[in-house]
Chains A and B, each alone.
Chain A
Amino acid sequence: MAELSPTSALSSVPRGAPGGGVTIMERRGLALMTMQARRGQEHALRSRIAQSCQADLPERPAFVTGRDIAFVGLGPQTWFVMSEADTPAFHASFRSLVGGTASISDQSGGYAVFRVGGRATREALAKGFPIDLDGRAFNSGDAATTIVSHIGATIWRREDAPDGSACFEISLFRSLARSFWHWFSESAAEYGLTWQDLPADL
């Protein structure tokens, strides 16, 4: 049988408003996991991740990238793990990599991840995120688990775009993506909103 086709978390919603002040894309096809260190295993987990993924697990709300993988600190000894290869094989290999040092839950279908950018990104995001996203307070690599327009969300800042505009990624429960979109599209419309269906990359 043919493989099942994945569906966007935002299928069949109207997209965009003229202009390019804000851009958004859904990062589809990501392998997503929550990873929690087993009791007394945090050190072992850290060294395995450092060795195999070339990443230092953040000890604060932060986003770090490793080899073909990225981690966001969600809470004490809890991380959100992202990778491009959402295949059963990847999940199996990552599980065996951490072995008994962490509990892994597959969340590839549980969260929608959006990347937003453009010169008016911060103005648009400020309409929902009750936290300070200014460069003085929220640097590239910073993350926060918070709410946006009454929806639980985690946001982290990526490297700025070549034009100097800020770039953020936002994860939230997939079932809430449409409500998120309602808020986001209305909030960004005044700046112009362009939907970018770009391939996922880290």
Chain B
Amino acid sequence: MVNPAGPHRLATGGQIDRTTRLRFFFDGVSYSGFPGDTLAAALLANGVRLVGRSFKYHRPRGILTAGSEEPNALVELRRNARREPNTRATTIELFDWLEARSQNRWPSLKVDVGALSSVLSPLFVAGFYYKTFMWPASFWEKVYEPAIRRAAGLGRASGEADPDGYEKTHAFCDLLVVGSGAAGLAAALAAGRAGARVILCEEDFVFGGRLNADTCEVDSLAGATWAEQAVAELQALSNVRMLLRTTVFGVYDGGTYGAVERVSDHLLVPAPHQPRQRLWKIVARRSVLAAGAIERPIVFGGNDRPGVMLASAVRTYLNRFAVAPGRRAAVFASCDDAWSTAFDLARHRIEVAAILDARPQVDRALADRAKELGIAVIAGAQVIDTRGGHELKTIVFRNGSNRTGELEVDLLAVSGGWNANLALATHLGNRPEWSDKVASFIPGKAPPGMAVVGAAAGHFTLSSALRDGIMAGTQAAETMGFAAKAMAVPQAHEEFDGVTPLSHVAASRSKSFVDFQNDVTSDDVALAAREGFRSVELLKRYTTLGMATDQGKTSNLNGHAMMAELTGKAISDVGTTMLRPPYTPVAIAAFAGHHRGKEFRPTRLTAGHGWANESGATFVEAGQWLRAQWFAQPGETDWLATVSREVRETRERVGVCDVSTLGKIDVQGSDAGVFLDRVYANTFSTLPVGKVRYGLMLREDGIVMDDGTSARFAPDHYMMSTTTANASKVMQHLEHARQVLWPELDVQLASVTEQWSQYSIAGPRSRNLLARLLCGAYDVSDATLPYLGCAEFTWRGVSARIYRVSFSGELAYELAVPATFGDAAIRAIMDAGAGYGAVPYGTEALGVMRIEKGHVAGNELNGTTTAADLGLGRMMSQKKDFIGRVLAQRPGLTAADRPALVGIRPVDRGERLRAGAHFLAPGAAATMKHDEGYVTSVAFSPMLGHWIGLGLLKHGPSRYGQHVRAYDPVRNGDILVEVVPPVFLDPEGKNLHG
């Protein structure tokens, strides 16, 4: 009878819930597993051992590991918009109705046409692309690169928007513990009991690390039971936070750590209001790196065949998941630790054909134990090849006397020893150091505040992990001022940790893989050595060793050790490549968090936004602000028609525009006037109270920075306005001037942009509208409020301000109320204007009207223009010093032929002008040498019935009446324009006075 739990599921044991059956699909076939399984465990339980095709040669691949270092078992998880490529089957927690598909195969996993490339493999050696696609050079862009790009990459992105949410969060602690194996739990216990704020992060979905996977005892308890008790104690401490499914992926400056929590990856869909993943920024005073170790494979012929597995992974599947990864096994190792795999297999009644230990001498005690269990031991042996097509059937080995033998096995457990998992210790640039004693790189200098413990430090036995953890946790707590009680080190049996590194079986003749994920073979490493790519950094780039999702966790050391052998160097001299964040791949979405789409950055809305929306506004982004661009009326389909109507109705009757986004800065203090004299090119100390003046501000280098008006409400109180775009820049500039340049002045600055909702009311009927609106709260007659007057008053219970200023050139006012009342105010304004035909207008009409009046704006204040260029040279006071005065006198800035502001109109009035077109003399060739300036702003003037523009033209003001070409090669424009004064409408300014 077929075992319903899967043909390879052991009858008892494992940290799985056998009472619940989970259904899942792999390549469309239905299987079942248990809660507590990974996808890899459940596949193995069901006898599925072929899970993918390799990247380059499409070789059949199985499951190598039981952790995040997995190079082979990469699958596409979920479907449609949730489809996620390259997820590691060894870390995917099984859930009901999980769907996964193998990658890099066509038409199916078993029959894969791409595997033909394996036949051509002599061609596809390292450097193949560099050597092959050299010539003809012209083929690179059109032929080679597109073809290579098509072949590149593993898995398919969904191409659809991710339907799930992601978020970011911050945490602070005294001690961050990375990893919850024996060392991590011991450190957390020591520091947690002392009262330190501890955060413990575990990338797996259970705490305990290898305590769950190995047959071991701590304080006379099964390792997993001890871990369970430690976790229970930690969870009861309010000062300890335990994060499961959370990978600390990076170490950054200042004790900052990045971590990603897979909140919902183990669910079919996230629960309501739950993100799929959460990015943690953790700031820790100290940290303990207890990330354990990663077992090293051995490079030998056919070492990538499904059924070849790391020895520790075999134990994990046996002990934690109650899965037998094979029926008849062999162990191939060069270290003591892998022998425990043979013993565990035997304990679970799985036949062990032999232990092949590459070392000529093996530990007597281990050999005795093997003998007791009836396991053959072949010392000095090396596996040189494997056979079996899609699954391992036979291994070929040589024994110590160089005699070849074969064993019929479907599982080969391999171990070349362990590599300390020290990645995080190197993120701030510290190089690891090679230790001959433990045959592993171990951390050199650790990042500030970090202690590396247990296997991550190269202390590979359980007892040393426990000792390290207690010591590091206690020390961290004490140095941070917590009173740690002395804590006994939990007792564990002594273990065997002998190892003689073996990276490569040189006697192998068939393809031997160093890097499974990138299909880098021993031949590739040898080729790199022959061709001079011997530095480990060059080796990486030439062969792709250690690239892609696993970043060489199982391959780097073997590759580097082989290079050491080939070049006759010690590993310590060859060194190793630097590891950078992230430790394992992190979805970009986790970094984006809530900031997707329109929420990419914050948006600022004026108080009148809701009203504008109701009134049919189309909005445009102006920095962070959204501003009404125009207000289309029913039936209007052409934006230009809408804008032209808004201009005409404003100039003929009255229009209302929300100008709240303009920067507003309160300038106060007894020296406010002196201060403004120094930051503006023109004089403000003489401005009477109740008056407004247009001001021009220069940068230190003499170029115009910003313009705007400043109003004086009291001898010691001005209110400056800036352009929307430059509001924060001007504020910074003023604060710099106040705090650094002239700290002796009594000046205080406050941004009040947000405080005031401000509406421009412009047009011949604006005064009528205001009179009706204000109902006597303030007299807007010309006598009380002349042009460039301002006042504060109380209107309908609120403080209001009024300024008689005009950007449109019409009789115009700006009315300001606190933003809390901005919505009520705009509705009241439009009500009052109903009888006068008032219309709302947006930024486009605002722009048209300022061009008609020749007022400069952002297009002209573009960071290259001087006051004289803009026709504002007379504003530069000769009587005082101010920022930018001296450098504005530089020869280059005062040259007579600098392009200066002019107006233009097409000679043929029916033609359209384009901003950005360059000025050329008629008949001159279109080259930079003949360039005479350019068009900065254009608009269709509904008042004149044709296009008009502003531009910067050499000797411009002396060329009124001349014709020049406006040449626009980008849009094939080349038209003749007439140079005219920049003020197109009402040059005498009669309209300003109504």
Q: Which residues of A contact B (CB under 8 A)?
A: 1-7, 11-12, 17, 28, 34, 36, 38-40, 86-88, 91, 100, 102-103, 105-111, 123, 126-127, 129-132, 134, 136-137, 149-151, 173-176, 178-180, 182-183, 186-187, 189-190
Q: Is there contact, CB below 8 Å, between A175 and B594? A: no
Task: Assess A4 versus B817: contact at CB under 8 Å? Given A109-B756, A110-B752, A175-B604.
Answer: yes
Contact of B607 among A105, A108, A174 (CB under 8 A): A174
Return A23 CB to nearest CB of chain B, in Å: 16
Residues of B within 8 A of A149 (CB): 594-595, 602
Q: Is there contact, CB below 8 Å, between A126 and B171? A: yes
Residues of A within 8 A of B273 (CB): 17, 186, 189-190
Instruction: Give B164-180 interface residues, CB cut-off 8 Å to A.
Output: 165, 167-172
Residues of B within 8 A of A4 (CB): 795-798, 817, 821, 824-825, 828
Any A CB within 8 A of the CB of B121: no
Q: With A and B bound together, what is the CA distance between A39 and B822 in angstroms? A: 34
Return A123 CB to nearest CB of chain B, in Å: 8
Q: Is there contact, CB below 8 Å, between A105 and B755? A: yes
Residues of A within 8 A of B818 (CB): 106, 108-110
Contact of A105 among B666, B757, B795, B828 (CB under 8 A): B666
Residues of A within 8 A of B757 (CB): 109
Partner-contacting stretch, out of B14-22, B430-438, B743-751, B919-927: B743-751
Residues of B within 8 A of A100 (CB): 670
Between B605, B668, B754, B822, the greatest number of chain A beta carbons within 10 A of the residue's beta carbon is seen for: B754
Task: Assess A179 versus B599: contact at CB under 8 Å? Given A91-B799, A110-B819.
Answer: yes
Any A CB within 8 A of the CB of B820: yes
Closest to B270 in A: A190
Q: Is there contact, CB below 8 Å, between B819 and A5? A: no
Q: Is there contact, CB below 8 Å, between B799 and A106? A: yes
Instruction: Give B455-483 interface residues, CB cut-off 8 Å to A.
Output: none
Q: With A and B bound together, what is the CA distance between A103 and B750 in angstroms? A: 9
Return B666 CB to nearest CB of chain A, in Å: 4
Contact of A88 among B169, B748, B752, B799 (CB under 8 A): B799
Residues of A within 8 A of B666 (CB): 103, 105
Q: Which residues of B contact A (CB under 8 A)?
A: 165, 167-172, 197, 272-274, 281, 283, 594-595, 599, 601-607, 610, 625, 666, 668-671, 716-717, 744-748, 750, 752-757, 775, 777, 794-799, 817-825, 828
Task: Assess A108 versus B820: contact at CB under 8 Å? Given A4-B797, A189-B273.
Answer: yes
Q: Is there contact, CB below 8 Å, between A103 and B748? A: yes
Q: With A and B bound together, what is the CA distance between A28 and B820 in angstroms? A: 9
Task: Assess A130 versus B274: contact at CB under 8 Å? Given A7-B823, A179-B602, A183-B594.
Answer: no
Task: Assess A2 versus B599: contact at CB under 8 Å? Given A126-B171, A173-B604, A173-B754.
Answer: no
Return A91 CB to nearest CB of chain B, in Å: 7
5 interchain pairs, CB-CB under 8 A: A6-B824, A103-B666, A105-B750, A110-B755, A174-B819
Contact of A7 among B671, B775, B822, B828 (CB under 8 A): B822
Return B512 CB to nearest CB of chain A, in Å: 49
Q: With A and B bound together, what is the CA distance between A173 and B625 in angstroms? A: 12
Task: Assess A175 versus B823: contact at CB under 8 Å? Given A38-B748, A130-B281, A190-B274.
Answer: no
Return A13 CB to nearest CB of chain B, in Å: 10
Residues of B within 8 A of A132 (CB): 172, 283
Q: Is there contact, CB below 8 Å, between B601 and A175? A: no
Closest to A131 in B: B170
Task: Assess A36 versus B169: contact at CB under 8 Å? Given A7-B823, A109-B821, A173-B604.
Answer: no
Q: Is there contact, CB below 8 Å, between A179 and B169? A: no
Return A21 CB to nearest CB of chain B, in Å: 10
Q: Is there contact, CB below 8 Å, between B755 and A109? A: yes
Residues of B within 8 A of A17 (CB): 273
Residues of B within 8 A of A1 (CB): 775, 777, 796
Q: Is there contact, CB below 8 Å, between A39 and B669? A: yes
Contact of A38 among B197, B746, B794, B795 (CB under 8 A): B746
Q: With A and B bound together, what is the CA distance between A43 and B666 in angstroms? A: 23
Contact of A150 among B169, B602, B819, B824 (CB under 8 A): B602
Q: Is there contact, CB below 8 Å, between A3 and B797? A: yes
Return B492 CB to nearest CB of chain A, in Å: 35
Task: Assess A109 versus B822: contact at CB under 8 Å? Given A3-B796, A91-B799.
Answer: yes
Between A6, A11, A17, A137, the greatest number of chain B beta carbons within 10 A of the residue's beta carbon is seen for: A6
Residues of B within 8 A of A180 (CB): 602
* Extra A-B contacts (8), CB below 8 Å, given A109-B817, A175-B754, A190-B273: A38-B669, A103-B668, A105-B755, A106-B799, A126-B171, A129-B170, A132-B283, A174-B820
